[in-house]
Amino acid sequence: MSETSADRDQYSSLALLKRLVREHGRQHVRSYLLAALLMSIGAGATALSAWMLKPVLNHMVDGEGFKTLQFLAGGVTVLFFVRGLATWGYQVVLARTGNRIVAGVQRRLYEHLLQQDMRFFHSRHSTELMTHLGGAASGVRDALQVVITGAGRDVLTLVGLIIVMIVQDPVMALIALSIMPVGGYALNRLIRRVRQSARRSFAGSAVILETIQETVQGIRIVKSFNLENTMRRRMNDAVREVERSVNRMAMGQAISSPISDAVAGIAIGAVIFYGSWRVSIAGADPGSFFSFVGALLMAYEPGKKLARLHLDIQNGLTGARMIYEVLDTPAQEVPQEGLPELRVSAGRIAFENVRFSYREGESVLDGINLVAEPNATTALVGPSGGGKSTIIALIQRFFRPEDGRVTIDGQNMMDVDLASLRDKIAFVSQDIFLFRGTIRDNIAMGKVGASDEEIINAARMANAHDFIIGFATGYDTNVGEQGAQLSGGQRQRIAIARAFLKNAPIILLDEPTAALDSESEREVQKALDSLRHGRTTIVVAHRLQTIVNSDRICVIENGRAVENGTHEELIAAKGTYHTFFATQFGESATPVKFGAATRSH
């Protein structure tokens, strides 16, 4: 409980503002000073033009000062030019600085994301992070901008005009100013409402993006299961929520106008009443009075803006709050200095009493012991959910073991440089992932700066070259979002070519369960056989052919390695593997080593 109140303090408006100023304001202090200077020039020009109303009026009344009036008319024109130029200048400076801040926040946020571990990504939807990068990052800029224009332009202008008012008539100034706090108080009451709505509108926008993304990526399922209505409902709900909260925000912000107008009306009315009494009855000079009223009217706009400063800032602060919530999640994969590089000589991978769970109390690996010998293929087989993919993930240090250790050639992989570890591993995942771009781009991801020749070579070895050049645009064929324009087997072979190009001593394959037709299965199989050559390979095997072609088979069940040996040994032992094999492939399955496998059911 105390944590939530601490959270509230940490992300309160004031704390956030201080942090924004500390982290971004200081860095751009020169630009902001320049903007402030320009703003004060503008504010000075405004105050001066109000002050000039006095000589203008007084000279008009006495009818003799036409020369002075000509001079004053010219002066006012110049003042307005100066004010225009100063406004242009500070707006340009502020916009550029603001955009630099947004860019900086986006870079920083992305950098922070890259340093997060799997758990972070598994607990969030991608669109949530997209709204952070987009809308919320601009929130940081907007919040700062509102404060700076508020503090700079509006406060300065107001101060200048108030000085003019005090100089012209101190009593009237007191009357006019005493009413200001009333307006400020009324406006502040609106803030909570606006803040809540801002957060809801961000959340709603994330759901809108999420629905669009799922519709595009899952369009086959959406159409095939007639999910249009379900998706439409989800979209409508989100759109309605956003519309409602944006409306509520607009309403909160709009209601500030009638409040300010009412307050200002009272102040101006009182001033006119008192002022005309002073001029007509008590014989004060009309110039001072008009100059005062001029200053008061000019002060209305900046005063109103200042009064709703707190309100206007809420939207930006909501964005800033969301950004900081992500930035404050400790980065789990920060590059650590001083760790030795992983050196792979033979490539022997060993799990020693490794325990691991994704959620507390739900053990997934339960003290597992396992060895993958160099220059050999170790197949992991076993029932779904047994922990095979988890083993593959732990070798790549996607998660850290809770107990026990994973070693590669005797080096505990928690104690070596993370990048050097992942450099030595080529991974083909259970669900193939392709990046945006062409086939060439996707294979090239395997090695920075790979030449065309290397890419084609890798594709040849992955048995992908022939189908690739079969396309009219060859290697430049677009793969579509997540490879949507390719067949399942083609996607797999591109992923294998990518792994080939990486030329790593350790190969991890998580075999897709989706049955390929026997022709493409053979193609993929041939590709895999050549990939495994001369390396340490661990393959999560679902296909008969992969299993029997492995050097060792390891049966994973309930987070333990329950059996270990060659296919023949394990069949002869008539244990778990024998049962597993019989139920998977039938009693009569006769595996053919390195031949055309025929799958029996």
Ligand X SMILES: Nc1ncnc2c1ncn2[C@@H]1O[C@H](COP(=O)(O)OP(=O)(O)OP(=O)(O)O)[C@@H](O)[C@H]1O
348 binds, among Mg ion, ligand X, none (CB under 5 to 8 A by kind): none
Q: Which two tokens stand for residue 591?
A: 């595996």
Nearest to 325 by CA among 2, 1, 4: 4
Per-residue binder mask for ligand X (CB under 6 A), 335-374, x = binder: -----------------------xx----x----------
Residue 384 CB, nearest approach to ligand X (Å): 3
Per the CB < 8 A criterion, the answer to whether 372 and 320 are in contact is no
Scored b (16 or more CB within 10 A) or e, 429-451 reads: beebebeeebbbbbbbbbbeebe
Based on the shown chain and the rule CB under 5 A, indicate whether residue 478 belongs to the binding site for Mg ion. Answer: no
Residue 317 CB, nearest approach to Mg ion (Å): 43
Q: Considering only residues 409 through 438, tell me which ones interact with ligand X, judged by CB under 6 A.
A: 430
Residue 510 CB, nearest approach to Mg ion (Å): 6
d(CA 329, CA 314): 23
No. of helices (H) and no. of strands (E), the chain: 27, 10
3-state secondary structure of 451: coil
Per-residue binder mask for Mg ion (CB under 5 A), 370-399, x = binder: -------------------x----------
- Binding range to ligand X, per CB under 6 A, among 43-51, 268-276, 304-312, 378-386: 378-386
Based on the shown chain and the rule CB under 6 A, indicate whether residue 110 belongs to the binding site for ligand X. Answer: no
Nearer to ligand X, 386 or 446 (CB): 386
Binding residues with ligand X: total (CB under 6 A): 12
Residue 21 CB, nearest approach to Mg ion (Å): 49
Q: Which two tokens stand for residue 93?
A: 């400076």
Nearer to Mg ion, 304 or 388 (CB): 388
Nearer to ligand X, 139 or 386 (CB): 386
Per the CB < 8 A criterion, the answer to whether 102 and 145 are in contact is no
Question: CA 225: distance to chain centroid?
Answer: 31
Per-residue binder mask for ligand X (CB under 6 A), 77-106, x = binder: ------------------------------
- Residue from the set 390, 463, 490, 550 that interacts with ligand X by CB under 6 A: 390
Residue 542 CB, nearest approach to Mg ion (Å): 9
Based on the shown chain and the rule CB under 6 A, indicate whether residue 389 belongs to the binding site for ligand X. Answer: yes
Burial class (CB in 10 A: 0-12, 13-18, 19+), 334: exposed
Residue 364 CB, nearest approach to Mg ion (Å): 11
**Residue 388 falls in which region: left (phi positive, over 0), alpha (psi -120 to 50) or beta:** alpha
d(CA 95, CA 75): 30
Nearer to ligand X, 365 or 434 (CB): 365
DSSP strands (E only) in 269-362:
349-357
122 binds, among Mg ion, ligand X, none (CB under 5 to 8 A by kind): ligand X
Question: CA 61: distance to chain centroid?
Answer: 65
DSSP string, 368-406: EEEEE-TTSEEEEE-STTSSHHHHHHHHTTSS--SEEEE
Q: What is the identity of the amino acid at 169? A: D
358 binds, among Mg ion, ligand X, none (CB under 5 to 8 A by kind): ligand X
**What are the residues binding ligand X (CB under 6 A)?**
122, 358-359, 364, 384-390, 430
**What are the residues binding Mg ion (CB under 5 A)?**
389
